[in-house]
A = this chain, B = another copy of it.
Amino acid sequence: MKKIAVFTSGGDAPGMNACIRAVVRTAIHKGHEAIGIFRGYQGMIEGDFQPMYPYSVSNIIQLGGTILRSARSKDFRTPEGRAKAYANLKANDIDGIVAIGGDGTFTGARIFMEEYPDIKMVGCPGTIDNDLFGTDYTIGYDTAINTAMQAIDNIKDTANAHDRLFFVEVMGRDAGFIAMSVGLATGAEAVLVPESKTDIQQLIHTLNTNYTNKKNSSIVVVAEGDDAGGAFKIAEEVQKHCPYETKVTILGHLQRGGRPTCMERVRASRMGVAAVQALLDGKSGVMIGEVKGEIAYTPFSQAIKHHNAINPMMLGMVDILS
């Protein structure tokens, strides 16, 4: 292996910088040169490369976002775009790549590797949604749930002060992991996730029972991708049949950034080390994951197709504990 490159792609996630740092320093520690590719696949096509040294990644472990930046690339969906990317990589003696991202990133990687198998690629799961198969935790998830939780803790202060019912929408287009964790952690009355059919009548019944029992506030956490529609739509429906004053908050993009948690930094570092090690061991086309505490390798094709299931016990806990 001559040079090992690293890039981030898709939505940014806290911990990406810790992972970049680990890739760069491990590559160099193992005797290789490290290259940073800026703005994901688009930068690969435009040759937006920069040599990375140990000090290039000093003091970034604690930063949210990604110093390598990210971008969508329409060009990479075309054979011409990928050909340019390949030419740039070859011209720069890059034969190993660590790709940090999610679904879209690994889909692109899979196509690229079929066309240009002499470039080895290993992925690290970088997305706050925790929706990749092959890892118990994605990079960004642990930070995102703490950020969302803090916001809902704040909202709960107001809910408690005013006899109010808040619908809070958190990120998760296809997966309810964020909603489930923050719902449990904030003592939400209900958690609505894409993985289970939402029963609005049941929800209204629960909330009305709470009201009768003099429970003076309630939080309902809604995953972005819930089947019953977004928080606004659900709140509107509930408001018609419920005596609480209803409010809606969409947490939105503030869930994405922020300082990574301790576990995030450790996990992202560990995955970055493992990714370089995997390349050096001749692995390619796999995503690094952490499964039951151990490093695991999952082919891109599987990581993309399947989804992690939410532990049904977790769903049951909401009913017992709220």
Interface size counted on chain A using CB atoms at 8 A: 76
Contacts of A247 in B (CB 8 A): 253
A311 → B minimal CB distance (Å): 8
* A119 interface hit (Cβ, 8 Å): no
Chain copies in complex: 4
CA A186 – CA B21 in complex, angstroms?
Answer: 12
Given contacts A136-B293, A145-B263, contact A321 B26 (CB under 8 A): yes
| Binary B-proximity of A64-82 (CB < 8 A = 1, otherwise 0) | 1110011100000000000
CA A163 – CA B182 in complex, angstroms?
Answer: 29
* A195 interface hit (Cβ, 8 Å): no
Stretch at the interface among A55-63, A91-99, A102-110, A235-243: A55-63
Contact B263 A158 (CB under 8 A): no
Given contacts A145-B262, A266-B184, A273-B320, contact A59 B158 (CB under 8 A): no
* A227 interface hit (Cβ, 8 Å): no
Q: Which interface residue of A25, A61, A150, A314 has the most chain B CB atoms within 10 A?
A: A150
* A270 interface hit (Cβ, 8 Å): yes
Which residues of chain A in 116-153 are interfacial with respect to chain B, using CB atoms and an 8 Å cutoff? 136, 142, 145-153
Which residue of B has the minimal Cβ distance to A292? B292
CA A269 – CA B322 in complex, angstroms?
Answer: 11
Contact A25 B320 (CB under 8 A): yes
| Binary B-proximity of A31-71 (CB < 8 A = 1, otherwise 0) | 00000000000000000000000000011011111100111
Given contacts A257-B155, A292-B292, A321-B25, contact A61 B136 (CB under 8 A): no
Contact A252 B249 (CB under 8 A): yes
Q: Which of B63, B148, B162, B185 is the one whose CB lies under 8 Å from A266?
A: B185
Binding site for B on A (CB under 8 A): 8, 11-12, 14, 21-22, 25-26, 29, 58-59, 61-66, 69-71, 136, 142, 145-158, 160-163, 166, 181-182, 184-187, 216, 247-259, 261-263, 265-266, 269-270, 273, 292-293, 313-314, 317, 320-321
CA A249 – CA B16 in complex, angstroms?
Answer: 23
CA A321 – CA B321 in complex, angstroms?
Answer: 37
Q: Which interface residue of A11, A151, A163, A216 has the most chain B CB atoms within 10 A?
A: A151
Contact A250 B250 (CB under 8 A): yes
8 nearest A-B pairs in the assembled complex, by CB-CB distance: A157-B257, A65-B157, A154-B257, A292-B292, A64-B157, A12-B161, A185-B265, A145-B262
